[in-house]
Structure 1
């Protein structure tokens, strides 16, 4: 039997009981390692994190915690080659896709280290200015932000074992809140290895960072009133989390990032150059991480008179994507995370095809260096929905893989109405031009769509080489979305600290307010 990866809890490495769950190479099917959380003393683990890790982090200033984040980023960079090998074996990702995950996590840590350094010696932050509450102005009210006295529990998704950890942990640790992370089982190896490297370095105090691999059973039972919970995954699981007795009873603060039917919209009258950017981005979002991104483009909307030609252009580019074993240098798209995910994507394509035509069928494309009977490799599939008004599946069913649906619209109002049928998404991207009245049209469209998205990403020829990409989540901008996207908010610069800080109003003589020693929270 392969190695059973230990968990790090209450300051010690503890191996779970039982045979554990195997993690397998999604290309070859070979067993890699096993994970188990059975038998762990969860009450002790949570208490240790709250009492030991929390107290030690709160004793530090924001600036000191920022220094630790910067050091962690350097440490992780020094082990990058090992992380790439794990990602290749356990996630089946190409080198480029591994960089999105690993480098993205390291970059996010570095950004929060730089932002946190500006907060210096403060241990608390001011929310706004003081407000007089008496006629003479002496009695005042000041809103203060302080670290919550609980633990931050992260239950993460399989697609980003590195970035998914650090985009949450960076603001949590900077805020002074200890972290317990439960990575998705299928790709837990990379998360566990990164935590192991940080623990071995001694850069964080005991109890500040813990990792539990395997089943999540019993984790939510440990939550108490000052704890916070951040979840990334399906809407069905999110519903269970929100209704969990411990969450309800203790009013636990919860952040959810759920599945999302993100859109890309080619504006009316867009230039050929803007159209080419649209086509390129749709193809990129279908193939990066094999389409396994919560921000990936699922619905692509184009003017009716360009519907057929753009469909042909996207299909032509997809035909040039080589799919298979990422160990082969010619492969541009690797595997889905597991055979189970492979089957789910196949079933999703069949379901969508009841209301859409298949323009490019990845199921019929050859694989490079991968056995189709064993591997989880699947080439991209493009569908076309001729009647998006009369179809419901394309606005309701997300296929979490290299799949997108093209659809036509009559005018901009029609396109916006179709996008809104997604009932809330993480991101929508617009493609158009910025000369003359086009800039105003893009601005007006973005404003209209902002209510149902966490982010509106606008691409024009003027930013073709500098825009960060529809699906790339940058720490400077908000990540989250309303409705079916979960209603959560992450990142957005120092705004992310708000989830881990408690706001309280201090009412006192102005002299006391001035003595709080806190700095303003500038976003």
Structure 2
């Protein structure tokens, strides 16, 4: 049950009525606004401008004008600018966490550690990596150099509203690109904190610009803009396809980080209790609104009943409630629409023969707020809808397999390939299985997320990589100079 909390009252948010273009806060071209709703209370907590194509034009012009001077700066100078941005953003870490807790519903502890902590770590990595942007290579009689792509349009999602922006902006600025950011309309307030920090840090005008608005208007204008050299998009696979088509008309570069339906493969010699515990936690992180979530748990058939019971027990321990309540482990979904989407998948899963062993449509949830109970589904067929489609909610499907080859086959039976996990008492065996999974990342025995490692997917999970040196390279062109 949601309870009043002093921290919630202190985390007051107000709307923002300006865009950030050419180093200044400017009025939007139109008068439309987007309301931002607290998914816990269902109350409007602010508004932002509903930008128009004219706003995108102005932002892109500013980014184009700034590109030459910014890209000509020595790498060390760009690194110093990023360092000042990092300092300004770090001072806002508590406000970042409370803002995400309000507009997304992430429990404050998780928002502090992940939603605020991770993007700061990523930005710090690009302060260091910026110095490598001008690295050259000798290949025979050729000098191979790296140059910035140009003006970047960054279109970002609502589930990690600062991390997904910083992963693009940090790499693009380090590479020497300039950027126009279009944040998700459901969680735009967090992005404003980054631009407050950029203004305080004194980034040169036009290097980083903000246009809020809807996907069909601002997103489409940015993806199709003739003076945008690259579009970096994170979101659904369906929208990613639209972005690709818009950019293809002018042969612009595209980087896409899309959906996932990741498999957690627990082998017969694994520590089952630990694997299930960590697997449930991974699936339920951010209320299941995580593209890398291990939403399919694969277990040996002779241990299936034990694994299902463990998963149900673990999931039942995730208390629903106000993100500012210390007892809360699972917040609401981001919107009423997202809640209904997840509930629709639960109904479809049951209709297809899945067995609800925890949570489900009839579970008790707070009367107010967009809550769905943590749910574990057993007896899920590998080809069923809930095993194939990205639900993006707190829903875990547990599947049985007979041998290692079948486990790999089930794991790869997906149009996605973003992440996954393998658990085994034999690290070498786990590595062999991990290499057989057609996915962009695999964690072995709970290996920690590495913000320096390349992040991205196979198949319909995307094109390109973010984070670390590979993420920097996405924003660079390669030139060969023969001598």
- 1:160 is displaced (CA, Å) by 0.7
| Structure 2 match to 1:404 | 396
| Structure 1 match to 2:78 | 65
Residues 229-260 of structure 1: per-residue CA shift (max 9 Å, x gap): 1111111111111112xx12321100111111
| Structure 2 match to 1:27 | 40
User: Are positions 1:499 and 2:478 aligned together?
Assistant: no
Residues 64-105 of structure 1: per-residue CA shift (max 9 Å, x gap): 222222222221111122222212221112112212111100
8 A Cα contact 1:282 1:300, kept in partner: yes
Classify the secondary structure of the residue corresponding to 2:142. Answer: strand
Query: C-alpha distance in 2, partners of 1:15/1:387?
Result: 53
Query: C-alpha distance in 1, partners of 2:429/2:98?
Result: 46
Query: C-alpha distance in 2, partners of 1:116/1:488?
Result: 19
The number of aligned residues is 462
User: Are positions 1:125 and 2:146 aligned together?
Assistant: no
Classify the secondary structure of the residue corresponding to 2:466. Answer: strand
Residues 175-223 of structure 1: per-residue CA shift (max 9 Å, x gap): 0101111111000101122212221331x11111111111241222324
User: Are positions 1:234 and 2:236 aligned together?
Assistant: yes
User: Are positions 1:324 and 2:300 aligned together?
Assistant: no
Query: C-alpha distance in 2, partners of 1:205/1:304?
Result: 60
8 A Cα contact 1:56 1:205, kept in partner: no
- 1:278 is displaced (CA, Å) by 1.0
Query: C-alpha distance in 1, partners of 2:439/2:380?
Result: 25
The TM-score normalised by the length of structure 1 is: 0.84
Query: C-alpha distance in 1, partners of 2:69/2:387?
Result: 48
Where structure 2 has 5 or more consecutive residues not aligned to the other structure, the ranges are 1-13
Give runs of aligned pairs for residues 35-114 of structure 1, distance below 5 A: 35-39=48-52, 40-52=54-66, 54-99=67-112, 100-114=114-128
Query: C-alpha distance in 2, partners of 1:19/1:250?
Result: 30
8 A Cα contact 2:36 2:103, kept in partner: yes
User: Are positions 1:428 and 2:415 aligned together?
Assistant: no
| Structure 2 match to 1:512 | none
Give runs of aligned pairs for residues 82-481 of structure 1, distance below 5 A: 82-99=95-112, 100-117=114-131, 119=132, 124-126=134-136, 128-131=137-140, 140-148=141-149, 150-202=150-202, 204-216=203-215, 217=217, 218-224=221-227, 227-244=229-246, 247-270=247-270, 274-355=271-352, 356-367=354-365, 370=366, 372=367, 374-388=368-382, 391-433=383-425, 438-449=426-437, 452-459=438-445, 467-468=447-448, 472=449, 474-481=450-457
- 1:386 is displaced (CA, Å) by 4.8
Would the alpha carbon gap of residues 403 and 107 (structure 1) be closer, same or farther in structure 2, given more than 3 Å must change? same
Classify the secondary structure of the residue corresponding to 2:265. Answer: strand
Q: CA RMSD in A?
A: 1.8
Would the alpha carbon gap of residues 404 and 208 (structure 1) be closer, same or farther in structure 2, given more than 3 Å must change? same
- 1:147 is displaced (CA, Å) by 1.4
Residues 114-164 of structure 1: per-residue CA shift (max 9 Å, x gap): 2334x3xxx7332x4231xxxxxxxx222221112x211111111011101
Classify the secondary structure of the residue corresponding to 2:455. Answer: strand
The TM-score normalised by the length of structure 2 is: 0.91
Would the alpha carbon gap of residues 387 and 376 (structure 1) be closer, same or farther in structure 2, given more than 3 Å must change? closer
8 A Cα contact 1:7 1:37, kept in partner: no
Classify the secondary structure of the residue corresponding to 1:359. Answer: strand
Per mean C-alpha deviation after superposition, the further-off stretch among 70-79 and 32-41 is 32-41
- 1:360 is displaced (CA, Å) by 0.9
| Structure 2 match to 1:12 | 24
Would the alpha carbon gap of residues 348 and 15 (structure 1) be closer, same or farther in structure 2, given more than 3 Å must change? farther
| Structure 1 match to 2:6 | none
Larger radius of gyration: 1
Classify the secondary structure of the residue corresponding to 2:400. Answer: strand
